[in-house]
């Protein structure tokens, strides 16, 4: 038998891309590829790109430029670009960077084997269609290899919301939910391979409405089905839109034992004027009322969110409203970004905020978020949390895992293995993690 060919995948951006990269590697496994951690010995390099912020495309071009030497040494090396930059740029990528052999958009990953074969014949392969067939079903099954205790599982893709700043509806396309039975089968398979915690993924995961045994199933319905899977201990989901936070999902946060008390629910801004201009279809007030209901169902839930500062036309007063909202919510985690113009989106045409003012706002917002984050983490000291151990820590004898609230927790010199779920009493809180001892 010939030696396996080596595949190097570099993943940018969100968890969805992490999941997609795994599935692409598995699919190309059927073509005789095994993954390698360095581009130097690869027979194929795939960049799985993200287009959500910053000069994404430019970064991809400069990364590609760095492979020139490798390709010169090894003319058989194939170079591919996948992900949202591939979708947005299409053929332009091959025009600007002739060393690229393959360009594949997120909806066409199941076509990778044919595309790879085409490149082996010396041709270029491009596919940025939005085909009708079920990509996930056609992607090759995962090999039965053992896995770590946590895994992502994409259940829904695409978005119909069209927030004025966002490229997702253009690069990932319209919202599509996978049928429930296929998701359950995939979950079962993951559990058989050692997974104990599954994070359900979707750009708008709480809008999930996949075909179930009797009609469409909601995300809560799907979570209840997963709750029955023996050996699966924890369920999480991300990322959600406030308008799709249905009653049954809120209720599940109070009653479904495997659903973890953590919710990522981006609000983007605290100013109603800006929210309207963002086409968000909720107000700061309606978001806060929604949170009251979620917290009534699950009082200890830790909230997480996303913010954009310096959105076109944002004034100091608008920004102040964002700080006020953050002050009221107190996020356990929050991600804040400076607005970045995405060509083709409605907000790109509007009058931009002075970059220095935007920088200054970002710093102030992040300082406030960091303070809350730290307060919430520090408040865990003295409490007992349940930790799913994932890997050895940096120091000898240390093991690290995540609490139900997604805090990193480490213990030292304890008898725990990867995949163990144990009660830990928290003894101290550091910059980015908690330390404790087994109970
Ligand atoms: N500029 C800055 N941040 C953005 N996001 C999405 N599009 C943009 C943009 N053009 C942020 C939003 C979203 C997160 C995934 O990325 O906060 O929730
Ligand atoms: Fe983008 Fe999320 Fe808005 Fe959809 S809901 S357009 S993915 S920010």
Residue-level pLDDT, tens digit, the chain, 439 residues = 568 899 999 999 989 999 999 999 989 998 899 999 999 999 999 999 999 987 788 889 999 999 999 999 999 999 999 999 999 999 999 999 999 999 999 999 999 999 999 999 999 999 999 887 778 777 766 566 788 999 999 999 999 999 999 999 999 999 999 999 999 999 999 999 999 999 999 999 999 999 988 889 999 999 999 999 999 999 999 999 999 999 999 999 999 999 999 999 999 999 999 999 999 999 999 999 999 999 999 999 999 999 999 999 999 999 999 999 999 999 999 999 999 999 899 999 999 999 999 999 999 999 999 999 999 999 999 999 999 999 999 999 999 999 999 999 999 988 999 999 999 999 999 989 999 999 9
Q: Contact, 212 vs 221, CB < 8 A? A: yes
How many angstroms is it from 421 CA to the middle of ligand 2? 34
Nearest residue (CA) to ligand 2, atom 5: 161
How many angstroms is it from 59 CA to the middle of ligand 1? 17
Q: Does the Cβ of 163 fall within 6 Å of ligand 2?
A: yes
How many angstroms is it from 366 CA to the middle of ligand 1? 15
DSSP string of 294-345? HHHH-TTPEEEEEEEES-TT--HHHHHHHHHHHHHH--SEEEEEE----TTS
For the CA of 267, the nearest ligand: 1
Instruction: Provide the CB-side half-sphere exposure for 150 (13 A, CA).
Output: 20
Model's pTM, two decimal places? 0.94
Q: What is the DSSP letter of 140?
A: P
How many angstroms is it from 397 CA to the middle of ligand 1? 39
Nearest residue (CA) to ligand 1, atom 13: 306
DSSP string of 63-126? HHHTTHHHHHH-TT-EEEEEHHHHHHHTTHHHHH-TT--EEE-GGGGGGHHHHHHHHHTT--EE
Q: Ligand 1, residues 13, 14, 51, 52: which to mutate, most atoms within 8 A of Cβ?
A: 52
For the CA of 282, the nearest ligand: 2
* SS3 (DSSP) at 378: helix
For the CA of 243, the nearest ligand: 2
Q: Does the Cβ of 169 fall within 6 Å of ligand 2?
A: yes
* SS3 (DSSP) at 241: coil
Q: Does the Cβ of 241 fall within 6 Å of ligand 2?
A: yes
- Terminal CA-to-CA distance of the chain, rounded, Å? 52
For the CA of 241, the nearest ligand: 2
Q: Contact, 318 vs 271, CB < 8 A? A: yes
Q: Contact, 292 vs 333, CB < 8 A? A: no
Contacts of 427 (CB under 8 A, 6+ apart): 381, 435, 436, 437
- Ligand 1 neighbours (beta carbon < 6 A): 52-53, 165-166, 266, 268, 306, 308, 337, 339-340, 342
How many angstroms is it from 53 CA to the middle of ligand 1? 6
Q: Contact, 53 vs 18, CB < 8 A? A: no
């Amino acid at each position: 038998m010939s030696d396996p060919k080596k595949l190097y995948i570099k993943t940018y951006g969100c968890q969805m891309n992490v999941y997609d990269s795994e599935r692409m590697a598995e699919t190309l496994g059927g073509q005789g590829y095994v993954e390698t951690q360095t581009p130097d010995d690869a027979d194929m390099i795939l960049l799985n790109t993200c287009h959500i912020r910053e000069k994404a495309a430019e970064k991809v071009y400069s990364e590609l430029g760095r492979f020139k030497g490798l390709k010169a040494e090894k003319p058989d090396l194939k170079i591919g670009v996948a992900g949202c930059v591939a979708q947005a740029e299409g053929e332009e990528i091959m025009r600007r960077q002739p060393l690229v052999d393959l360009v594949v958009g997120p909806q066409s990953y199941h076509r990778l084997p044919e595309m790879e074969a085409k490149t082996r014949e010396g041709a270029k392969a491009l596919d940025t269609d939005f085909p009708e067939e079920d990509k996930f079903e056609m992607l090759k099954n995962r090999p039965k290899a053992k896995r770590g205790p946590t895994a992502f599982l994409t259940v829904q893709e695409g978005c119909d919301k069209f927030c004025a700043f966002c490229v997702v509806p253009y690069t990932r396309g319209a919202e599509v939910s996978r049928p429930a039975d296929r998701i359950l089968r995939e979950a079962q398979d993951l559990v058989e391979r050692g997974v104990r915690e599954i994070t359900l993924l979707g750009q708008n995961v709480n809008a999930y409405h996949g075909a179930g045994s009797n009609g469409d199933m909601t995300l809560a319905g799907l979570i209840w089905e997963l709750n029955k899977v023996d050996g699966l201990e924890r369920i999480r989901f991300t990322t959600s839109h406030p308008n799709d936070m249905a009653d049954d999902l809120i209720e599940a946060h109070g009653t479904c034992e495997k659903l973890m008390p953590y919710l990522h629910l981006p609000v983007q801004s605290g100013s109603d004027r800006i929210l309207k201009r963002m086409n968000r279809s909720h107000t700061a007030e309606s978001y806060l009322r929604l949170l009251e209901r979620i917290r009534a169902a699950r009082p200890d839930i830790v909230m997480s969110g996303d913010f954009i500062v310096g959105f076109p036309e944002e004034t100091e007063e608008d920004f102040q409203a964002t700080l006020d909202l953050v002050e009221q919510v107190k996020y356990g985690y929050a991600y804040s970004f400076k607005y970045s113009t995405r060509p083709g989106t409605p907000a790109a045409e509007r009058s931009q905020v002075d970059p220095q003012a935007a920088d200054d706002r970002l710093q102030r917002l992040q300082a406030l978020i960091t303070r809350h984050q730290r307060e919430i983490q520090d408040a865990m000291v003295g409490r007992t949390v349940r930790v799913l151990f994932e890997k050895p820590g940096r120091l000898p004898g240390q093991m690290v895992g995540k609490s139900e609230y997604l805090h990193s927790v480490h213990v030292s010199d304890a008898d725990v293995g990867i995949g163990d779920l144990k009660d830990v009493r928290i003894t101290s809180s550091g910059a980015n993690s908690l330390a404790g001892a087994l109970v």
